[in-house]
Amino acid sequence: MSAIVSHINGNDSYLGIELGSTRIKATLIDGDGHVLASGGHGWENNYVDGNWTYDLEDVWKGIQSAYRDLMAVVVETYGDRLASFGAIGISGMMHGYLVFDKEDQLLVPFRTWRNNLQGEAAQQLTNLLSYPIPQRWSVAHLYQSVLNEEDHVKDIAFQTTLAGYVHWRLTGEKVLGIGEASGMFPIDLKTKSFNKSMINQVDQLLKNKDFPWQLAHVLPKVLVAGSEAGRLTAQGAKLLDPTGTLKAGLPLCPPEGDAGTGMVATNSIAKRTGNVSAGTSIFGMVVLENDLKAVHPEIDQVTTPEGNLVAMAHANNCTSDLNAWVGLLGEAAQAMGARFDTNTLYQTLYSKSLEGDKDAGGVLAYGYLSGEHITGFEEGRPLLVRGPQASFNLANFMRANLFSALGALKIGFDLLLHEEGVELESLLGHGGFFKTEGVGQRYLSAAIGVPVSVMATAGEGGPWGMAILAAYSRRSQEESLKDYLEKVIFKTHKMTTIEATPEEVAGCQGFMDSYRAGLAIEQAALDHYKTF
């Protein structure tokens, strides 16, 4: 304890904050990556005027709540509230649309990655640049606003992401880490910045619009991991800690996206390594040795926090509908007098699924709470489908919903591994989907067909990865991030590895065959069942 207090008092503590889809989390670590304290705050997106959004006031309320929660743990554990850190890092959900005018006023409500209304823009930009531009990407949001002839576009002075926005308000610096930036606009891997020739192509596309701005002027500056990205201003310190205890002047590392922090948190930044982050959404990433042979709308090409090329299969839907079913079953159990905590509920139901048929017994599910670009849906309708001869029991019900959470991701990975021939030596899982030991991990192995490992730190996730990037920014730049992770952070970390049996792989493939064939059912639901 005395050693830890010494670390904290000596500014050898590093704060990572990540704004996820349902939780804002804050994690404090020492320079070796050991977690000293954590805090969190729950929040939810809202569907307003046809767009998924978060109010920016809720951003700050949530950050302050998570920070306050963290400090309560620090005071209880170590005896005093902290006034400074060695460095701070901000992470958030990637992509989306946050645009401001020259007076720094938000022009339209924040449009998140979850919106699937940018299909026309994404297709046109992909064709123009001969580079995959998914609907989630910030430039697709921007160009769709142009195509829609939205009045605010002419007034844009700055465009950023959620992490970039928070970092900007804390430091005054309009910058992004390269991994986060790679989800806004394509990156030039040689210059480690936005691709200038592609920016010129987009500017030519917009030339006849007579906007008073060019794309390069409204995008943030790109920085690689290890850079100092600004200092906490007095106003920023008050935003983070309204009590006034936190000192201004503390360094911040480049803000990163949840993809980048996931790579760091699983030590998956070396070539031929990959990781899957599974929560509200799900995305899998493989660090590439070579460029992909073809342009695939289903696959993003992003980068590691150091700027190496990564192929990412991203699905909008993972556990949201699954969580709703778990909540419903828990409500039924409580109505009958059962008493249990949430962890026990999830562990019981997830583990029960292992007793099901290998292919889920003819039960089919689509957890499409929102649209799903990999399978071509702008909106979603959660569905549960079964034939009269299906083996409908609790185990198969849970297994079908867990398989469905991986469905769109598997389609993307099949393309990478089978069509593109990408080599994958290791795959690590992290996020809430893997919290119940041996369940989500086994199903991911069955879906992808490779062994899947989960580290003891899998539950720490993005904010831990962001805190590690903050710690790395204060070390000598002669040490690569890869070496820092291997020699310091993961030197003693243990992991468990599961490889699905051939029968489990075949069973999952049987489910997926039905999943692909049944997409017409999802389309019919979308066509004929309108929400009110």
- Provide the 8-state DSSP code for 418: I
Give the pLDDT confidence score for residue 10 in this predicted structure. Answer: 61
Block residue for tokens 């320079």 = 31
Beta bridge partners of residue 188, listed in sequence order: 193
CA dihedral 83, 89, 91, 97 (to 10 degrees): 90
Q: pLDDT, tens digit, for every residue of 75-107?
A: 999 888 889 999 999 999 999 999 999 999 999
Q: How far apart are CA 532 and CA 522, in angstroms?
A: 18
- Nearest CA among 350, 423, 396 for reference residue 507: 396
Count of H-run helices and E-run strands, the chain: 18, 22
Q: pLDDT, tens digit, for every residue of 441-488?
A: 999 999 999 999 998 765 567 899 999 999 999 987 778 999 999 999
Q: How far apart are CA 382 and CA 316, in angstroms?
A: 13
CA torsion through residues 460, 462, 463, 468, sign: positive
Q: Which two structure tokens, joined as six digits, stand for 374?
A: 């990999």
Q: How far apart are CA 485 and CA 269, in angstroms?
A: 9
Q: pLDDT, tens digit, for every residue of 422-448?
A: 988 879 998 889 989 999 999 999 999
18-22, 36-40, 528-532 — which is least confidently predicted? 528-532
Q: How far apart are CA 373 and CA 249, in angstroms?
A: 42
Q: Which two structure tokens, joined as six digits, stand for 146?
A: 């142009």
Q: Which domains does the chain have, with CATH numbers?
A: 267-457+501-532 (3.30.420.40)
Give the pLDDT confidence score for residue 280 in this predicted structure. Answer: 85
Q: pLDDT, tens digit, for every residue of 215-229?
A: 999 999 999 999 999
Q: Which two structure tokens, joined as six digits, stand for 506?
A: 């075949």
Those residues whose C-beta lies under 8 Å from the C-beta of residue 473, and which sit 6 or more positions away, are 87, 89, 225, 226, 227, 228, 229, 251, 253, 254
Those residues whose C-beta lies under 8 Å from the C-beta of residue 435, and which sit 6 or more positions away, are 343, 346, 458, 459
Q: How confident is the model at residue 16 (pLDDT cuts 50, 70, 90)?
A: very high
**Cα 445 to chain center, whole Å?**
20
Neighbour count for residue 156 (Cβ, 10 Å): 21
Q: How confident is the model at residue 125 (pLDDT cuts 50, 70, 90)?
A: very high
Q: pLDDT, tens digit, for every residue of 370-392?
A: 899 899 998 999 999 999 999 99
Give the pLDDT confidence score for residue 218 in this predicted structure. Answer: 97
Q: Is the pLDDT of residue 180 over 90?
A: yes
- Pairing label, strands 175-177, 87-92: unpaired
- Provide the 8-state DSSP code for 223: E
Mean pLDDT of the chain: 93
Q: Which two structure tokens, joined as six digits, stand for 379?
A: 């909106």
Give the DSSP per-residue string, 142-184: HHHHHHTT-GGGGG--EEE-HHHHHHHHHHS--EEEHHHHTTT
pTM: 0.82
CA torsion through residues 177, 370, 433, 323, sign: positive
Half-sphere exposure at residue 145, Cβ-oriented, CA atoms within 13 angstroms = 26
